[in-house]
Amino acid sequence: MGRHEKIAWYNLAVIGTSVLFFLVSFFVMKDRHSLESSFEVSSSAFAVLAFLGFGQTLFRKEDAGKRRSGFYDPELDERDVQIRQRAALHSFAIFWVLFVLAIMGFWMFFRWRHGTEGPLMITFNVNLLPLLTVPGFLIIMSVHAISTIIQQRDNIKDNNGVQGVFVSNLRSMILSMFFLPIFLLMSFFIAMQGEIFFAFQFAALSFGAFAMAVREIRRKQEYLEDERLVYGVKLLGRISNIVFTLMYGGLIVKFILDYSKFGLFKFPTLFILLFIALIFYRTVIADLRHYLRERRHEKA
Amino acid sequence: MKKPEIKNTIRRYRFDHDEMTQEELAELVGVSRQTIIALEAGKYVPSLGLAFRIARVFGAKVEDVFEYNAD
């Protein structure tokens, strides 16, 4: 087991311990005290996270320093750097998805519980606000550690040159495919609560994110061996591009209509229309032209 | 469909060079032993700089140690 894998395991253990302490303390306290004070007191368990800082020292290379060959003993070589970068990418991507799901989940929960009529005000202790950063930190650190362990253990199986990048993108797409129905389901719930415009915007963003994932795959599609899979990916990319463009086009038209009510229709609108045309060209027309060119090549 | 791969003969070169260990090679080229393991298993493609350093250790050309297989 390499040094970085050991550090990742250590980080996971520290995070697990702090979460465990928090949960045990919270559930023991909540029967005797209010939820708020139980939460506040139990959150002291996150002090255990301070141990994260010792990982680098505990697993320091004993023979660190200049070697006989003249090279410095690498604390972090090029492969470690690559693994670390990808782990960071994974952790922030997962954090963003979970953050959106949590925010929308809370919003939907309160709307469902208190009805959709009028603004809904909630009050909470402002001292809890800094504590909200803790879950974000925990998610990022945990995903980073898990991703590092998987990549180090795998001997980065999916890092086999360009083909490896493809496998990694395929995984991203599968992940996106998993999240797309969840986001669309949320859009449906939002729409059911009468927030049609908001639901539409949320669904458009979901398709946008999905289209980006598919586009990544399309860039590497020459490494796919199965012809049917190649055409499947192409078709998926084309459909998601078109859906995203049409949905966002619709949103921008609504924006222009709203804007025009204030008599500010002229110059900004021109720019916006140009922007729509550009997006439409980049995502739909260019895509179709590329497709037709490919067909011509195939026939030739 | 094309399936480009970069193969290498690091393991053979190590044995030809007095059965050099992975640790020794790692030390000579400035990486960790895990990176050498990943390289030999064909699961990591090195940077150009590292490829040149490895070839230099064996007194060979880069194209002798690393082979680009476009078939």
Select from B1, B37, B50 the residue whose CB has the most chain A CBs within 10 Å, as the one to mutate to test that interface. Answer: B1
Q: Is pLDDT at B34 greater than 60 in this prediction?
A: yes
Q: Coil, helix or strand for B71?
A: coil
Query: For tokens 């027309």, what's the residue?
Result: A285
Check pLDDT > 80 for residue B29: yes
Long-range contacts of B51-59 (CB under 8 A, 24+ apart): B53/B28, B53/B29, B54/B10, B54/B25, B54/B29, B57/B17, B57/B25, B57/B28, B57/B29, B58/B13, B58/B16, B58/B17
Report the residue of A69, A223, A234 to disrupt the B interface, i.e. the one with the largest count of B CBs within 10 Å.
A69
Which positions in chain A touch B43 (Cβ < 8 Å)?
Answer: 154-157, 159-160
Q: Rounded to a whole number, what is the distance in Å from the CA of B21 to chain A's nearest CA?
A: 15
Tokens of A160: 């086999």
Q: pTM here?
A: 0.65
Residue B46 Cα, gap to closest chain A Cα (Å):
8
Better pLDDT: A177 or A56: A56
Predicted pLDDT at B59: 93
* 3-state secondary structure at position A72: strand
**Backbone phi, then psi, for B27, in 5-degree steps?**
-65, -40
The first and second tokens of residue A300, run together, are 């030739």
Closest to A38 measured CA to CA, from A48, A49, A23: A23
Give the DSSP letter of residue A225: -
**pLDDT-wise least confident of A193-202, A217-226, A256-265, A266-275:** A217-226
Q: From the CB of residue A36, how many other CB atoms can be counted at a distance below 10 Å?
A: 12
ipTM of the complex in this document: 0.79
Q: Given an 8 Å threshold on Cβ–Cβ distance, is B27 in contact with A79?
A: no
DSSP-assigned letter for residue A54: G
pLDDT in tens, A59-106: 766 555 555 555 555 677 888 888 888 888 888 888 887 888 888 888
Which of A21-35, A162-176, B32-46 bottoms out in mean pLDDT, i.e. has the lowest? A162-176
Token pair for A203 = 């669904």
Min Cα distance A144 → chain B (Å) is 19
Phi (first) and psi of residue A66, to 5 degrees: -75, 135
Mean pLDDT over A225-231 rounds to: 63
Can you list the alpha helix ranges (DSSP code H) found in A30-70?
35-42, 55-58
Residues forming a β-bridge with B69: B5
CA distance linking residue A104 with residue A42, whole number of Å = 26
What is Dmax (Cα atoms) for chain B?
40
| pLDDT of A129 over the 90 cut | no
Which pLDDT score is estimated for A160? 47
Of A133, A113, A131, residue with least CA distance to A122: A113
Residue with tokens 């998601």: A240
Q: Do B35 and A156 touch (CB under 8 A)?
A: no
List, for residues A20-33, the tens digit of each pLDDT value: 988 888 888 888 88
Measured CA to CA, the distance from residue A138 to residue A76 in angstroms comes to: 24
pLDDT of residue A72: 56
Query: Whose CA is closest to A180, among A262, A119, A236?
Result: A236
Residue B3's pLDDT is 47
User: What is the model's pLDDT at position A159?
Assistant: 44
pLDDT tens profile B15-28: 999 889 998 899 89
Q: What is the DSSP string of A15-38?
A: HHHHHHHHHHHHHHHTTTS-HHHH
Q: Ramachandran region of residue B31, left (φ > 0), alpha (ψ -120 to 50) or beta? A: beta
Which pLDDT value is given to residue A222?
52
Instruction: Indicate the average pLDDT of chain B.
Output: 86
Reported as a pLDDT band with limits 50, 70 and 90, residue A134 is: confident
Both tokens assigned to A228? 């049917």
